[in-house]
Amino acid sequence: QNTKYQIPNTNYQLTIQNLKSKIQNQMTDILVIGTGEYVTGFVRGAAADSDKSAGVIGLVLFDLRSRGKVNQIYLCGRDGKTFPGIRNHFNEKIAQRYQGIDISVNTFPGDDEYNPQAYQTAIEKMKPGDAVIVVTPDDTHFEMAMTAIRHGLHVLVVKPLVKTLEEHQKLIAAGKQQNVLVAIEMHKRYDPMYSDARDRVRSFGDFSYMNSYMSQPRSQLHTFGKWAGKSSDINYYLNSHHIDLLDWMVSDFARPIKVTGLGATGVAKNEFDINTEDTITTTIQWENVKSSNLGISVHTASWIAPKSDVHSQQRFFYMGHQGELQIDQAHRGYTSATVSGGYGSINPLFMKYEPSNGKFAGQAAYGYQSIEKFIDAVAGINKGGRPEDFDNVIATAAKTLQTTAILEAGRISLDNNRSVEINYSDSELLIPESCS
């Protein structure tokens, strides 16, 4: 109250408004294309007991906005009639559960519209330097990502980036031309055990062997029924996690040279009338480039698992010439039993939904970090950085070509009942050029 320090109220308010406007202009506007379980947690039907009841991407972005890292949030789907239900879901699962989170979101198309091309209108509303997160069926990723890149937007695609090496290469070229970041949301890289494993195996010498397994309960096939077996399969959807992990571990000294895919069938077709593999095993022959020593990896993924103590089984074993390690990511030694939910193994390292003193407290979870790291990278580029500055920070398109080559080769192998070669232009290069 000392008059010596008094500031005229009108000028003070104008100063605050100008400061807020300047800060908001520096923050990133985000468009999310896709309104499904991973974005909103909103699921109808038999899978309504999703392990992601509050969603992941929507919740993370709302919290990042409360922390001053995100400005406007836009959500785009095909059927506007779902948005009233999504807003109610956000209110019930987020606004009423966590203090201080603004769940307001701009939506495309209108609540009474159905428009599969609404993403084009939404992208046109964004300004260059803003960001787009693509969370849609795999066969739509390329078109949506390319449209966003050509508009000057940074792009994060929830795995896989695309289905073919050719599309992957085109996105890299377009990103370079527009000087925008193109990345994949590979959240398992941020799991503290997985990232530690990656660092440890660097001292294990040549790569020799890896096996991995990941599953989801068959109830998820209700959720995935519109695209499963049509636009993608369980290899792209789940095996991509551990294939990317191995790529991340060894791709600067080893390369995949041959892929064989095997599939099991019956449950999806008989119980859900979905013509797709229940379980896929992808076997990969690797070559350690300097020594020419060979390695093997075997990756199995399934979406017909029975209900158990975890939503998703996920584990791997790795062996190099000088050491080995294994991780059971689904079981952290943390269990719970409740009257309503029964017995379960808990993994708050992925997403921590339990409030702390009434507030959301999942900022350290690796599902949160995979989004935040992208937002931070976008901010860095918009302030004068280069997209390539973040090649070793997040899973950029430029550094994940081996993963896409393996996934494409696996699909070709399954469709043609044969092994598929991954081709390189030079005997020592690590960047694949084609599959045949």
- Single-letter code of the amino acid located at 91: N
pLDDT at 13: 54
pLDDT at 49: 59
Distance CA 69, CA 376 (A): 8
Distance CA 28, CA 103 (A): 17
pLDDT at 225: 82
DSSP, residue by residue, 47-116: TTT-TTTT-SHHHHHHHHHHTTSEEEEEEE-SBGGGHHHHHHHHIIIIITTSTT-----EEES-TT-B-T
What torsion do the CA atoms of 43, 276, 116, 106 make, to the nearest 10 degrees?
30
pLDDT at 111: 92
Distance CA 302, CA 307 (A): 13
According to DSSP, the residues that pair with 157 across neighbouring strands are: 134, 184
User: Which of helix, strand or coil describes residue 21?
Assistant: helix
The long-range contacts involving 94-103, CB below 8 angstroms and separated by at least 24 positions, are 94/54, 94/58, 94/59, 94/62, 94/360, 97/54, 97/355, 98/355, 98/358, 98/359, 98/360, 99/355, 99/358, 99/359, 100/66, 100/359, 101/62, 101/63, 101/66, 101/360, 102/62, 102/65, 102/66, 103/62
How much is the CA Rg of the chain, to the nearest whole Å?
23
Distance CA 423, CA 410 (A): 14
Distance CA 26, CA 42 (A): 31
**Element of type H or E holding 209:** strand 207-217
pLDDT at 9: 55
Evaluated on CA atoms 156, 216, 78, 146, the torsion sign reads positive
Cα–Cα nearest to 400, from 252, 275, 276: 252
pLDDT at 358: 95
**Element of type H or E holding 325:** strand 323-328
Distance CA 295, CA 288 (A): 7
Distance CA 42, CA 207 (A): 42
Query: Is the CB of residue 259 less than 8 Å from the CB of residue 281?
Result: no
pLDDT at 267: 94
Per-residue pLDDT of the chain (436 residues; tens, 9 = 90+): 444 444 455 554 555 454 444 444 567 899 999 999 999 999 865 445 567 889 999 999 999 999 999 999 999 999 999 999 999 999 999 999 999 999 999 999 999 999 999 999 999 999 999 999 999 999 999 999 999 999 999 999 999 999 999 999 999 999 999 999 999 999 999 999 999 999 999 999 999 999 999 999 998 888 788 888 888 999 999 999 999 999 999 999 999 999 999 999 999 999 999 999 999 999 999 999 999 999 999 999 999 999 899 999 999 999 999 999 999 999 999 999 999 889 999 989 999 999 999 999 999 999 999 999 999 999 999 999 999 999 999 999 999 999 999 999 999 999 999 999 999 998 888 999 999 9
Dihedral-angle region of residue 254 (phi above 0 means left; psi in -120 to 50 means alpha; beta otherwise): beta
